Structure 1
């Protein structure tokens, strides 16, 4: 099977789409497919088990499409679709986010993408994304970097709570700090490790001082290597996103590390967290504080949440997710 995997962002850029595309390219190749990745991300030539074509012209892209058996576009791009549709090959679009603006409205580009979906076969990364689309889609969750977290579930825990994510307002790290402040009058002063960087870093550090949490909170900045080892030192991972996350690979990383989860409840996070955490309404600091208190003070509850992790993670292992895509591709090729 010849697969053309279109990923607007790709290595050496670092982010969610890039990581998912890299995992899928590796797993498709491991399963015996011939994979070509096309991307707009510049970068050096690399010795990989698949081919990477960077910043192709429309002519080159059309030729690659004609030579493929199936096309996977990881996150819809109209510019790329224009070159792919004339090939008349099966085109699968994986929807990694909402097809709307951050304020919930839709612009001309969003409507153009929605129209283009009718020429494609659609995959949603969560039930929430599937529900938001005006076309039918297959729900296939995102894989996670399993190797970075294997063997971590029995790591000794000397820290309480970890936050892992980009430091932007949507991710809710400020909400988490306010929740810690809510717990102090109850005599609860759990440690918090913040892993990540972003434009809110200085604001969050100032808020930590303002709330009197400097003895509890440690900011590590961005960590790309060894984050599995760091996360696994914690009892709880908090995912306090204010906006409705489309999915939440970070939650899978927390589960794989042996953490109990405390997560906001909207969007696709329940798909990623599953039975491994407690939920609270997005943006509700008191509900977040209450959920943290329960997991911090009830070791039986915490153990039950953690024990559900192994079975839950099976559905998101890279080889399992790749197999679901390959089954879909074979069905489309046969029809």
Structure 2
């Protein structure tokens, strides 16, 4: 199959959608398909991919690429990338990784137009929550995670309690987690919390920890990557993902599960799909419920093994090869 992928933002830009698209394109190529990726992002370095990357093509070049392909794929709808379909009709598949609405819940004309475009596409959603947000039927194919990086390291002693991994911004709910940590004193519990990440809210969070008199329980360790990050995750029992907004999915939960953490996360949106049976959820923004969930696990650590027992089966659905094959089945249906 000849697959043309349109990804306006791509390497060397680094982000969730860029990583997801690169992973899928690599898997498609490795599974024997011809893949070309179009991007508007310039790059002066030599390409190091198993597929061809065409940077900032002219209109006639893009039209020729449309003639070449069997299926046209976008990882999130790009309105600019829809234009070639007006000239050359080809089977069109769009995957949806976020909500088509503003942060306050309102919709712009771009959001309305993207919903309209989905009516003419074969659609894939990364979670059941995203699928229910669309005006059309959508196949649900979850995101994958880097199984070659995030894995169990048996020799590391898992002797630390709580860990957070993510950007230190208000939407991620770290302030909620700090309040829950302070509330746990009412249960006679004084767990330690490791916070991995950087962001605009870091100074405010440090101040909040001091005001709550829990500063000695909280360790801000900054950004960690690679082996150092994986070792830290392996040393902890519980990963907390306390997002205030409704996450479309939640790859960070998969990374924690793969490293042996039980996940406590917000139930709104698609995060619960990523957690599966490998953790528990609480209503977004509900500090009392978060405190209770953490207290239940910390007071009875034997429950942690119950959530870990399904991790292998759960993670098998998020392997890069499995996810790519699910996409390819959708492509074949669209072409057929």
| TM tier, smaller | over 0.9
1:326 counterpart residue number: 328
1:139 counterpart residue number: 140
| Cα distance, 1:123–1:65 mapped onto 2, change above 3 Å | same
Between 56-65 and 120-129, the greater mean CA deviation after superposition: 56-65
2:225 counterpart residue number: 224
| Cα distance, 1:190–1:55 mapped onto 2, change above 3 Å | farther
What are the Cα deviations for residues 218-250 of structure 1, in whole angstroms up to 9, with x where unaligned? 122222323222212110000101111111111
Matches within 5 A, 1:1-335: 1-43=1-43, 44-152=45-153, 155-226=156-227, 227-334=229-336
CA distance in 2, matches of 1:153, 1:5: 39
**1:329 deviation in Å?**
1.0
Q: Is the 8 A contact 1:172 1:241 kept in 2?
A: yes
CA distance in 2, matches of 1:325, 1:195: 32
Residue 226 of structure 2: SS of its match in structure 1? coil
Residue 151 of structure 2: SS of its match in structure 1? coil
- Residue ranges of structure 2 left out of the alignment (5+ in a row): none
What are the Cα deviations for residues 80-107 of structure 1, in whole angstroms up to 9, with x where unaligned? 1112443211111100001111111111
What are the Cα deviations for residues 62-91 of structure 1, in whole angstroms up to 9, with x where unaligned? 222221111110011101111244321111
Q: Is the 8 A contact 1:152 1:256 kept in 2?
A: no
**1:196 deviation in Å?**
1.5
Residue 193 of structure 1: SS of its match in structure 2? strand
| Cα distance, 1:217–1:58 mapped onto 2, change above 3 Å | farther
**1:153 deviation in Å?**
6.4
| Cα distance, 1:233–1:73 mapped onto 2, change above 3 Å | same
Residue 47 of structure 1: SS of its match in structure 2? coil
**1:154 deviation in Å?**
6.8
Between 111-120 and 146-155, the greater mean CA deviation after superposition: 146-155
CA distance in 1, matches of 2:310, 2:72: 35
- Residue ranges of structure 1 left out of the alignment (5+ in a row): none
CA distance in 2, matches of 1:181, 1:231: 22
What are the Cα deviations for residues 135-180 of structure 1, in whole angstroms up to 9, with x where unaligned? 1111111111111113446742132111111111111111111110
Q: Is the 8 A contact 1:158 1:234 kept in 2?
A: yes
| Cα distance, 1:224–1:34 mapped onto 2, change above 3 Å | farther
**1:187 deviation in Å?**
2.5
Q: Is the 8 A contact 2:93 2:334 kept in 1?
A: no
Residue 230 of structure 2: SS of its match in structure 1? helix
TM-score where L is the length of structure 2: 0.95
**1:289 deviation in Å?**
0.8
